[in-house]
Amino acid sequence: MSLSLVSLCLALVVDEPMAPEKAAQVERAEQKAQAEVSAKYGNKKPTELSKEERKALDKDMADASKAALQKEGVDPKQWARESLKKGRDDYAKTKELVKEAEQKDKAAEAAKKAGDGAPKEIEIQRGVTDDNPVVLDEKPNEDGTIPVEKGLPPDAQRELNEANGDENAAAGNPNAPPADLYEAKPGKGGGKGGGKRR
């Protein structure tokens, strides 16, 4: 092949427009890189930065864009030409694809946060069936019996006994019923009959 034919083929390949999907991918990568640099500077407006900070911000933005373009395999000069040559339809389609990519990224990030940090929803079981059994203990007891608790938990029973003024609670027997539980209590007011007074 002659040198002119090779250069003509290269010129045609370079002038071939970039697909909107690829352009959207490149633009999204460039936006991400610039957002990271902006976050580094506190997402401040340029008017809020000093002259030296603005100069450093501009340099870092340019470096980030160049790195993002190289990562995507696009020459910065070609990208600049491509951006200038875009028609309205290509521009609108690229913007739409970039917006879709942003929404996918946000949804993926939200799903990741929901799965990691958020408490999981508690399932409330209504009734016991063969399809929906209740598991008392994950591991069996040493003696093979199933523990069954009756009454209040020991701490609550002790507090209840102490509140009722029972000596057994102070002695350390939390499961003992209060002493006056079975004693007859005198009623208020006298008289027979239990009807209402009118």
Which SS3 state, helix, strand or coil, does residue 141 take?
coil
Q: Does any domain span residue 83?
A: yes
Residue 187 carries which side chain, given as an amino acid letter?
G
> Which residues 6+ apart lie within 8 Å of 24 measured at CB?
94, 97, 98, 101
- Return the half-sphere exposure (C-beta side, CA atoms, 13 A cut-off) of residue 127: 3
Evaluate whether 57 touches 34 at the Cβ level (below 8 Å). Answer: no
Q: Does any domain span residue 29?
A: yes
Q: What share of the chain is helix, strand, coil (3-state, %, to 5)?
A: 55, 0, 45
Q: Does any domain span residue 89?
A: yes
Provide the token pair at 180. 């006056």
Task: Name residue, tokens 């008017």.
Answer: 47
What is d(CA 141, CA 148) in angstroms, rounded to the nearest whole number? 12
Distance between the two ends of the chain, CA-based, in angstroms?
A: 120
Q: Does any domain span residue 195?
A: no
Q: Does any domain span residue 108?
A: yes
Tens digits of pLDDT across the chain (198 residues):
555 655 555 555 555 677 878 888 888 888 888 889 888 888 888 888 889 988 998 999 889 989 988 888 888 888 888 888 888 888 888 889 889 988 888 888 887 777 665 566 777 777 777 777 766 556 666 777 766 767 777 788 888 888 888 765 555 555 555 555 555 555 555 556 556 666
pTM: 0.46
Domain count within the chain: 1
Q: Does any domain span residue 182?
A: no
Evaluate whether 180 touches 164 at the Cβ level (below 8 Å). Answer: yes
Model pLDDT for residues 126-150, shown as the tens digit of each residue: 777 777 776 655 666 677 776 676 7
Q: Does any domain span residue 77?
A: yes
Q: What is the DSSP letter of 48?
A: G
Provide the token pair at 104. 């996918």
Domain span at 97: 14-113
